[in-house]
Structure 1
């Protein structure tokens, strides 16, 4: 691939993942860190995202090199039965994200319309935003979808600059707001790591189509790091100054009006499309032969229905649950691929009980480290311990640790 082609592909993935990060849900997540204060909050945001982005880039490289989806890459370590388990977990988190994105966007859009037209249209906004996500899915991945996504990202970038100016017009005042406490730094760090971790099962769904592993992975990582950190910091600033992470009131107070609605709706549609589409990819690994687009459309429908009946009170717990599942999972996958050099999917491997046991231990350790409130958080020690443990026992594993139920064996 020539340098011009690599540059174009880098820009495409940069804009794609920047757009994925620009969302009301990420602004709300940044607002949760307000008890840390401005300086400590920003430190937690930057450090947490840096940790998560390193993992995101590595998973993207696997996808582009091997031409497989992120969930399919887990088959290298866990076998085909392992893929079924993690596909189900991934579909659940993606449907959950779809609902959360719709809820957060609808709440903000409803606040705007309340101030503009004194009407409560929450359910209408939930249905409308869900419908737009379905329309985005219907456009498909090729041609028009790419152009529409690029145009949306440009608009989002301009509008986000305006929002940033409103929030940070008195940066010195923000830095002087005292931390109210109630949240250890380690918890803020984990809430920052969790957001890029939530994309680990998705990134290769897009980089698998790339011509250059390096340009696609680094474009994705840089785009998401910039966009997500930016959203978190906006949410942190809004929460410190206004007492809530919802930016709708600030945008309306600045007479943005319909522009505020544009930020909310565009950001939600471009991001939640990726959640629903990847849910379709994951589900198709459970039922090969099904059309990914049709499944994605169905997942968007389920997410919209859930948005009508659930709330966001458990948002923080949801983020930590994502970290607990996917940090040890991809620690094993990355250790296998980059350290142990196991890069081939073995059709005869149905279940790697060793990998599943180490993963289960990693999930338990994650919550134990959270309870201990270590200064470095839970993700880093879990990644290190799970990787070392799997590398050590994986090298000396006996054949009985694997369940190899190939057609040849099962026919005997």
Structure 2
């Protein structure tokens, strides 16, 4: 990466190319507002259906949500703080870990992940809006795609709007939905068992961790690493607890009628209005994924104009949302997410716990191929703990890993957190792999 030029004191928004230095105009309130809004997503209460298990008490379920949110948000905050310190996007930040050319591997995976999640968010927005307004879905797909793309063209301006206005509108809708749901009869908090606590927590951990490959794209514009870390961890962590718990309570209150979470919330008096407001707020998730796709691509093509990249990616995601069954693609997105869990562990240990000297994110950053080992081992540990579930043509992946579990005597219903097992393996192996370099450093 060539030496960035100094940003203008009146720089209005994010730089157009990777060769320009990022303006650091965001403070703690902006960071809290951004990550709070990203956490207020309809995807989280919808995912709550995977957290609720027959026989598990409501108290244990909510406890798993809190524990999972704390763990995931802490990892996200530590990554965001590093991005603010180094002032580079997320994939460029990985040059200091793996080297410039080796960083292209996680970059390619992140491009696929970001386009997929942008498409998924557009589908969620369109599906929810079509249900609320009882209208065809395709106009909402087009509208959401166009609006999210427009937002991604001026990301810092959007962040300020989110922090100052959108977060309060979303909170008002959430407070109303909570009041209405809590008025319904709910089961006793302690009724049931404590089964599968870590399985439930693992699902919650996955949501904050899914943002780790994007965090530095935004935190590089925050004035201090402390503001970036606190904003990401507290903003997204609190929102995660709030949204997952809303989904769990809605299922407990209305689930007996066989409704999914969105339909359950629509049953609430004036629930359609509140859900429609959350649908509008949902645009920020699609915008963030579109913007991060463009910024990630600049790790490979540093001089590419991010506005052109955003327009291309926005058009692709919108077209996919119109023509592709994104539900069939969802397991693949979770598989890619499992790839980034151990990578986060390797990065955080190498950056925060081991002596690192200068974190080299330049074009000449040397390769550290030995750090691929703990990354790959962590991914294998994840799949051996909880294989990513595929149906249909991809079922062979799940069955192969299930057979390996049997070979190793691992109970498929082990109840462990795949994220924590993966992180532990990645962290320990990173320490082992880097030990010789540390010893040489002390002797020199």
Q: TM-score range by the shorter chain?
A: 0.7 to 0.9
| Partners of 2:219 and 2:228 within 8 A in 1 | yes
Match of 2:151 among 122, 136, 149: 136
1:406 is matched with which residue? none
Where does 1:196-207 land on structure 2 (aligned, <5 Å)?
A: 196-207=208-219
| Structure 1 length-normalised TM | 0.85
Cα deviation for residue 134 of structure 1 reads: 1.8
Once the two structures are superposed, residues 100-133 of structure 1 have per-residue CA deviations (whole angstroms, 9 ceiling, x without a partner) of: 111122222111122xxxxx41122222221221
State the distance in 1 between where 2:158 and 2:340 align.
Answer: 33
Once the two structures are superposed, residues 131-168 of structure 1 have per-residue CA deviations (whole angstroms, 9 ceiling, x without a partner) of: 22122224x13446623652122111111111122222
Matched, 1:285 2:325: no
- Does the residue aligned with 2:187 lie in a helix, a strand or coil? helix
Match of 2:171 among 157, 166, 171: 157
Matched, 1:34 2:52: yes
Once the two structures are superposed, residues 292-323 of structure 1 have per-residue CA deviations (whole angstroms, 9 ceiling, x without a partner) of: 23322322222222222334545773564244
1:304 is matched with which residue? 318
Cα deviation for residue 385 of structure 1 reads: 2.1
Q: Which moved more, 1:341-350 or 1:54-63?
A: 341-350
| Partners of 2:155 and 2:291 within 8 A in 1 | no
1:410 is matched with which residue? none
Pair 260,358 (structure 1): closer, same or farther in 2 beyond 3 Å: closer
Cα deviation for residue 13 of structure 1 reads: 0.9
Once the two structures are superposed, residues 210-230 of structure 1 have per-residue CA deviations (whole angstroms, 9 ceiling, x without a partner) of: 111112210221011111211
State the distance in 2 between where 1:169 and 1:314 align.
Answer: 36
2:262 is matched with which residue? 247
Pair 308,316 (structure 1): closer, same or farther in 2 beyond 3 Å: closer
Match of 2:198 among 174, 186, 196: 186
1:64 is matched with which residue? 84
Q: Which moved more, 1:30-39 or 1:52-61?
A: 30-39
Pair 134,391 (structure 1): closer, same or farther in 2 beyond 3 Å: same
2:118 is matched with which residue? 98
Q: Which moved more, 1:367-376 or 1:282-291?
A: 367-376
| Partners of 2:174 and 2:274 within 8 A in 1 | no
Pair 149,136 (structure 1): closer, same or farther in 2 beyond 3 Å: farther
- Does the residue aligned with 1:82 lie in a helix, a strand or coil? coil
Consecutive unaligned residues of structure 2, counting only runs of 5 or more, are: 1-23, 388-410, 439-444
- Report how many residues are paired: 383
Pair 262,101 (structure 1): closer, same or farther in 2 beyond 3 Å: same
Consecutive unaligned residues of structure 1, counting only runs of 5 or more, are: 1-5, 115-119, 399-412
Matched, 1:127 2:151: no
2:342 is matched with which residue? 328
1:387 is matched with which residue? 427
Pair 322,378 (structure 1): closer, same or farther in 2 beyond 3 Å: same
| Partners of 2:94 and 2:103 within 8 A in 1 | yes
State the distance in 1 between where 2:428 and 2:333 align.
Answer: 25
Once the two structures are superposed, residues 38-92 of structure 1 have per-residue CA deviations (whole angstroms, 9 ceiling, x without a partner) of: 2222122111111111111111111111111122111111111221111111111
For the aligned residue pairs, the C-alpha RMSD in angstroms reads 2.7
Q: Which moved more, 1:284-293 or 1:234-243?
A: 234-243
Cα deviation for residue 365 of structure 1 reads: 0.8
1:407 is matched with which residue? none
Cα deviation for residue 234 of structure 1 reads: 1.1
Pair 148,227 (structure 1): closer, same or farther in 2 beyond 3 Å: closer
1:15 is matched with which residue? 33
| Partners of 1:21 and 1:224 within 8 A in 2 | yes
State the distance in 1 between where 2:220 and 2:373 align.
Answer: 29
Pair 384,127 (structure 1): closer, same or farther in 2 beyond 3 Å: same
1:80 is matched with which residue? 100
| Partners of 1:130 and 1:304 within 8 A in 2 | yes
